[in-house]
Amino acid sequence: MELNNKTTNPNQTLEAVITAELSAMYRYACYRLGERDEAQEVIQELYLKLHSKPLNDVRNLRCYIYRSLSNACSQALRERRKICFIDIDSLSDLTADDLHPADFAQEQALISRLLAALPDEQSEVIRLHLHGECTFAEIADILETPLATVKSRYRYGIEHLRKGLQNKI
């Protein structure tokens, strides 16, 4: 949704986009942060922050919101100093139960472990595409990266995940 009409109230448009995207935003934040309560808190803080900003010059509000959410999640991770880097080889302790999760917590833990093994650029594109339900063009806008780069990061990330899973099955 774009803000091109100067007569449109930006806060009403912001409300509409956030209402439409809230489910995907929450899912993205949950997978990014690993905690539901923290995801809700980050989204609430983002909502308040966006309402206090003038949004008249924002070209694509949806992309702006996701870029802001991505930045807020990164900041939350930095603040709790829980960013960890895992080598793909360290996933050798995955079990068959891990590969067929029974509940959300198991699924989230498996996905987090696999995504943590990827370079940040690749995992961010995968999260935005799968959990944020963003198109590659929107991701390119959000990350301010060329579309071809976004597509290749996604492809390489998925290939690494596939290889990691094939070694465990």
CA distance 149 to 147: 5
Q: Report pLDDT for 82.
A: 45
pLDDT in single tens digits along all 169 residues of the chain: 444 444 455 556 888 888 899 999 999 998 888 888 999 999 999 999 998 888 878 888 899 999 999 999 988 888 876 444 445 555 555 555 555 545 666 666 777 788 888 888 999 999 899 888 889 999 999 899 999 999 999 999 998 888 776 665 4
Contacting residues for 145 by C-beta, under 8 A, at least 6 apart: 139
Length of the chain: 169
Residue ranges and CATH numbers for the domains of the chain are 1-83 (1.10.1740), 85-169 (1.10.10.10)
Q: Which two tokens stand for residue 18?
A: 């956030």
CA 123 from centroid of its chain's CA atoms: 9
CB-based contact 112:105 (threshold 8 Å): no
